[in-house]
Amino acid sequence: MEMDTKVTVHDAMTSSVITADPKTTIADAALLMTRFKIGSLIVKSNLELEPEGLITESDIISKVVSRDIQASEITIGDIMTKNLIMIDPGSELNQAARLMAKNHIRRLPVVDDGGLVGILTSTDVLMVSPELTDILVENARMENPAEYTDMEKSVPGTCEICGNYLEYLDEVDGKFVCEECKEDLEGD
């Protein structure tokens, strides 16, 4: 008898999601992220079941700090990413990883029956299923062999040196690394 070994989004997601109202100031959002040691907040008002948006540390830096905007005078609703790509908790984890890589995102709100039930990050994917990177590359090569003829061993995933999630990583000395870290390694 064959066992079903399908790993789902539910298996890897974080179910205790920190959310914030769109009217929350950037200053308060930054305090929440610091307090809970997280890099993003799902934006959702109490009246809404589905997430309305997402805000990350990177959003705060690029859209507020770099423009010298007072963090207490702007809300997360003003700068949040809208029209989120979401996933069902019953979806396979490899499907979620492909969705992240294809759309260049590192976080997926997990929605069931229209309500937020969790969040899946690229780190969650790799912690639950580190071999997924190899599987995704092989699947992509089988589905689109022409796309991979010019690319040596380029794969989607998290750089093992800097920790950034990218669509293309190269293998150098047994580690999957981004282009920048690859240049640093080869420059030594």
Residue numbering of the annotated binding site for Fe cation? 159, 162, 178, 181
Residue stretches of the annotated binding site for Zn(2+): 159, 162, 178, 181
Answer whether 134's CB lies under 8 Å from 115's CB: no
Binding-site positions read 159, 162, 178, 181
> What contacts 169, CB < 8 A, 6 or more positions away?
133, 154, 155, 156, 157, 158, 159, 176, 177, 178
Identity of residue 16: S
Phi, psi angles (nearest 5°) of residue 58: -60, -40
Question: Are residues 71 and 63 in contact, defined by beta-carbon separation less than 8 angstroms?
Answer: no
